[in-house]
Amino acid sequence: MRRFLTVFLYLGWAPTALAASHSPYSAFDTQMPAAQPGPAMQAVDLYKRTASSIYLITAAKDDAALKRGKAVYEGSTVAITPTLALTNCHIVKGRKTLVLSQHGQIDIGTVVASDPKTDRCVIEAQTMKLNPISGVRPYDDIKVGERVFTIGNPSGLESTLGEGIVSGLRTRENVRYVQTSAPISPGSSGGGLFDDRGNLLGITSFTIEDAENLNFAIAAEDYWGKVKKKRRKKGEAGE
């Protein structure tokens, strides 16, 4: 509850900052960052390089629901530019109040591109400068058995690191997934799955219940595919 009240107070006491003008979002046409070469890193160094690119999303139906802490959902998002971040649509669906936060920094988020059928959404920060990831590995370059790491916010515990391997590469209903033994828990959805060089492989999405270590991330490369631009309604910010 304390987290939600802190966020709500920010919303209530900083209207000028949140109303800062921005140019209209034209399309999700940001170039995919190239995969970065280099030696494999130990977990401690991997964490130092990538954790600052993972943000907590607090999502609620509206400001009033956020203040009451009612039906509030927490998830994760991965920055790819100083303003844009990737996440899962199931975190933000039907929730108008979206707040991005990381270690005390707080900002409003807006869905600017989405494909709900494949659970891919793109979030734009209004005022916070995000720290983008360094590179993205193409799906076809990922190998079963390689070491991988998850970073997310399970149960609101910011920047939690997990380790495992790529367990499989799956395609279901035209969506490509990286199956992994690295842990994914509630709140981890929308976080990052990284290789040992700090490249983003996928956006952690779901785990199969009543099974052991059957976790799945949407291929990060696919966010540069057919993610549809969200049309702004007349009168919305940016028009």
- Predicted confidence pLDDT, tens digits, the chain (239 residues): 445 444 443 444 333 333 332 223 234 678 899 999 999 999 999 999 999 999 999 999 888 888 887 778 899 999 999 999 999 999 998 888 999 999 889 999 999 988 888 999 999 999 999 999 999 999 999 999 999 999 999 988 999 999 999 999 999 888 999 999 999 888 889 999 999 999 999 999 998 877 778 999 999 999 987 555 555 555 444 33
What domains can be seen in the chain, in order of their start residue?
Answer: 2-16+51-133 (2.40.10.10), 139-223 (2.40.10.10)
Q: In this structure, what token pair is assigned to residue 197?
A: 């060089």
**Catalytic residue at 119?**
yes
Of the listed 101, 107, 114, 119, which one is catalytic? Answer: 119
Distance of CA 204 to the CA centre of its chain: 8
Catalytic residue among 52, 63, 90, 134: 90
Catalytic-role residue among 167, 189, 205, 222: 189
90 included as an active-site residue = yes
pTM of the full structure: 0.83
